[in-house]
Amino acid sequence: MSRPAPSVVGTGVASPSPGGAVRGCPVATVTLWGLCQRRTSVVGMAWNVVIAGGGFGGVHTAKHLARILPKHSARITLVNDTNFMLYTPLLPGAAAGTLEPRHVVVPLRETLPDGVDLLVGNVTGATPEENALFVDTIGGETKRLRYDQLVVALGSVSRTLPIPGLAEHALGLKSLPEAIQLRNHVLRNLELAESTDDPVTRRAALTFVFVGAGYAGLEGLAELQDFASEVLDLYPRARVHGMRWILVEARDRVMPEVGPSLADFAARELTARGIELRTSTTLEEVTDRTARLSDGEVVPTFTLVWTAGVKPHPVVSKLGLPLAENGRIDTSSSAAVRDTPGVWAIGDAANIPDPAAKGKRPSPPTAQHAIRQGKTVAINVAAALGTGSPVKFKYKTRGVVVDMGQRKAVAMTMNLKWRGTPAWFIARSYHLAMMPGLGRRGRLLADWNVGLLFGRDTAELGQLGHVPKLDQGEHALPIDGAKNGAGPVSAGGAPSQTADASASGDQQGS
C-alpha cells in the first residue's frame, strides 16, 4: 500500500505537499499562514487516523494504536453515536435487574487514552476516493473528516425476517434501552397475571417466548427466567399458575458461536430449569397475544423476544465500500478492505475470514473476535504509516463463558468444561477482568453482591421515561400507545399497550 502524504494536525483538510516539505522552508518545518514554522508537538505534520464506531473493536483499535504509534505522529479520532461503549455481554444482567444499567456501559472519555479524540456523532456516509467520512454531530452540524487511514467498526443491528407481526410485536435485546424495556415488560406481565381474573390473559402474561438461541437469546432468557423465578413468590396468584419459558431455534442446536459439546451442556442446564427448548423450529407469525411456531403450536403470549442473529449496521452500505454477500464489508485476513487503500474494517460489520475455519467462513460476530481484530488492525494501520510490520488475524476462540443468572453458568476454558457455581465464578471473574477501569469493576462487584445478599429490585420504572407535562399531571401518561406493553387490561380483556419504555426515556429512568 502506498503511503499517502500526512495532513496538518488539527485541520482535517487536504494534505500539503508529500512529506510536508514546503519549498523555501527547511526540513522539520511546516508552513502556516505562509510562514515557515518549526514542527512542534501541538501543531505539526501528522497522519489523520479515523475510527468509525466506539464499541469493542473501535475502542481496542484506538487503545492499541495510541500505544504503538510514535508520540504525536498521528491524530486519532474515534467517532461514536454515544459517549459510551456498551459492554453487551452484561446486557442480559441489566435486563434481569442484576446490574444497574449505567454499570454495563463504559464512558468513552474515561477509557480512551491520551492522544485519542472522541467525536460524538452519527456516521452517515463516506467517499473513499476522497478519503472523507461524513458525520452528523449532536449539534446538528455535518462534518467532513479527512483521513489517511480509516477503520470501520460500526457493529451490527438485529437481523429481522419478513415474519407477519414480527416488526410490530417483537422486543429486541441488542441495546441498553431494549434491555430495560424487557425487564419492565416482564415485571408488568407479572403484575398483569396477578391482577387479572381472566385465565386466558393470565396464561399469556406468564408465557415468555425467545426466538434465537445465540449468546443474546440464551443468556437473556436464562437471566430473565432466573429473575422471574426469584420474584414469583411475591405474586401469589401468578405463582399458583406457574410460568412457561420457551426458547425457539431454527438450527438443530443452541449457541452456534460455540462448539457442540458446550452447547449441549448449556441446553441441559436450561431444560433442567424447566425451560422448553424448541430446536429445528421457526417462528411463523406473531400477533399481540400469540406466537405461531412451525410445529403448529400457537402459543398464547404477550412476550416475544427476537434475538435471531445480527446484520451489519445499515450505514455500512452507505460508505461506498465493497460488501460481501452477507452484507458485511469485504475484508482480507489482515482486515484491509478489498480494493480500497487506507480503509480497514473489523468486528460485526466486517467479513474477516475466521482462522478457526481455515478462512472458509467469516469470523463469528463476537466481542472476543472484535477485540482481537482491533489489535490486528492497529498493528496494520501503524505498519501502513511506517511503524512495524503488518500481521494477519489469527485468533481462535480459547474459551467461552455463558452467564445464566445467579450462581448459574456454563464455561469452557482451555478445553475444560465448567458448570454451576464454578462456571458462574469464572464468568463473573472474566467479565470483571475485561471491564475497563477500576471504578467500573467496583460498581459491578457492588451490584452483584447487593443482588446476592438482598435479591433483585422488583420496581417497574417504565413510566420514568414519560414525564407528564406540568399542566397535565399524572393523566399525561399514555394509557395505551406504545407497542409490546402488557399493562392494565383493557375493556376487551386484552392487555392495553401501555407506556412502555421508550428508548431514551427508559435509559434515563433506569
Ligand X SMILES: Cc1cc2nc3c(=O)[nH]c(=O)nc-3n(C[C@H](O)[C@H](O)[C@H](O)COP(=O)(O)OP(=O)(O)OC[C@H]3O[C@@H](n4cnc5c(N)ncnc54)[C@H](O)[C@@H]3O)c2cc1C
Does residue number 56 form part of the binding site for ligand X (CB under 6 A)? yes
**Restricting to residues 113-132, which ones interact with ligand X according to CB under 6 A?**
122-123
Binding mask 127-166 for ligand X (x = CB under 6 A): --------------------------xxx-----------
Beta carbon nearer to ligand X, 370 or 464: 370
How many residues in total does the chain contain?
510
Angle at CA of residue 102, ends 367 and 315, nearest 5°: 50
SS3 of residue 295 by DSSP: coil
Beta carbon nearer to ligand X, 331 or 463: 331
Does residue number 88 form part of the binding site for ligand X (CB under 6 A)? yes
Angle at CA of residue 311, ends 302 and 227, nearest 5°: 35
CB of 80 to ligand X, least distance (A): 5
Beta carbon nearer to ligand X, 206 or 404: 404
SS3 of residue 180 by DSSP: helix
Compute the distance between CA of residue 507 and CA of residue 94 in angstroms, rounded to an integer. 11
Beta carbon nearer to ligand X, 212 or 487: 212
Burial 449-476 (b: 16+ CB within 10 A, else e): eebeeeebbeebebbbbbeeeeeeeeee
Does residue number 53 form part of the binding site for ligand X (CB under 6 A)? yes
- With CB under 6 A as the contact rule, which of the stretches 33-41, 82-90, 223-231, 494-502 interacts with ligand X? 82-90
- With CB under 6 A as the contact rule, which of the stretches 25-33, 77-85, 459-467, 488-496 interacts with ligand X? 77-85
**Restricting to residues 324-363, which ones interact with ligand X according to CB under 6 A?**
347-349
Among the listed residues 20, 44, 89, 101, the single contact to ligand X using CB under 6 A: 89
Does residue number 370 form part of the binding site for ligand X (CB under 6 A)? yes
Instruction: Count CB neighbours of 241 within 10 A.
Output: 16
**Listed residue (439, 494, 412, 492) closest to 202, CA to CA:** 494
**Listed residue (364, 337, 342) closest to 353, CA to CA:** 364
Does residue number 54 form part of the binding site for ligand X (CB under 6 A)? yes
CB of 392 to ligand X, least distance (A): 19
Beta carbon nearer to ligand X, 232 or 323: 323
Does residue number 82 form part of the binding site for ligand X (CB under 6 A)? yes
Compute the distance between CA of residue 62 and CA of residue 57 in angstroms, rounded to an integer. 9
Beta bridge partners of 142: 136
Supply 108's cell numbers: 468513552
Does residue number 279 form part of the binding site for ligand X (CB under 6 A)? no
**Restricting to residues 290-319, which ones interact with ligand X according to CB under 6 A?**
313, 315
Q: How many angstroms separate the Cα of 330 from the Cα of each of 89, 149, 228, 356?
A: 26, 17, 43, 18
**Restricting to residues 198-217, which ones interact with ligand X according to CB under 6 A?**
215-216
CB of 219 to ligand X, least distance (A): 6
Does residue number 174 form part of the binding site for ligand X (CB under 6 A)? yes
Contact 156, 317 (CB under 8 A): no
CB of 242 to ligand X, least distance (A): 27
Beta carbon nearer to ligand X, 123 or 266: 123
Beta carbon nearer to ligand X, 221 or 283: 221
Contact 346, 57 (CB under 8 A): yes
Beta carbon nearer to ligand X, 437 or 468: 437
Beta carbon nearer to ligand X, 56 or 210: 56
Which one-letter amino acid corresponds to residue 465?
A: G
CB of 270 to ligand X, least distance (A): 16
Angle at CA of residue 397, ends 69 and 68, nearest 5°: 5
Residue nearest to ligand X (CB): 55
Please, how many CA atoms are within 13 Å of residue 114, restricted to the half-sphere of its CB? 3
Compute the distance between CA of residue 362 and CA of residue 333 in angstroms, rounded to an integer. 10
Beta carbon nearer to ligand X, 105 or 482: 105
CB of 145 to ligand X, least distance (A): 12
Size of site (CB under 6 A) for ligand X = 35
Beta carbon nearer to ligand X, 366 or 497: 366
Does residue number 286 form part of the binding site for ligand X (CB under 6 A)? no
Angle at CA of residue 482, ends 246 and 495, nearest 5°: 55
Compute the distance between CA of residue 333 and CA of residue 356 in angstroms, rounded to an integer. 12
**Listed residue (292, 327, 330) closest to 311, CA to CA:** 327
Beta carbon nearer to ligand X, 54 or 97: 54
Compute the distance between CA of residue 485 and CA of residue 322 in angstroms, rounded to an integer. 41
**Restricting to residues 451-510, which ones interact with ligand X according to CB under 6 A?**
none
Contact 2, 341 (CB under 8 A): yes
CB of 85 to ligand X, least distance (A): 6
Phi, psi dihedral angles at 420 (to 5 degrees): 65, -145
Does residue number 77 form part of the binding site for ligand X (CB under 6 A)? no
Supply 160's cell numbers: 429481522
* Contact residues: ligand X, CB under 6 A: 53-58, 79-82, 85, 88-89, 91-92, 122-123, 153-155, 173-174, 215-216, 219, 313, 315, 347-349, 365-368, 370
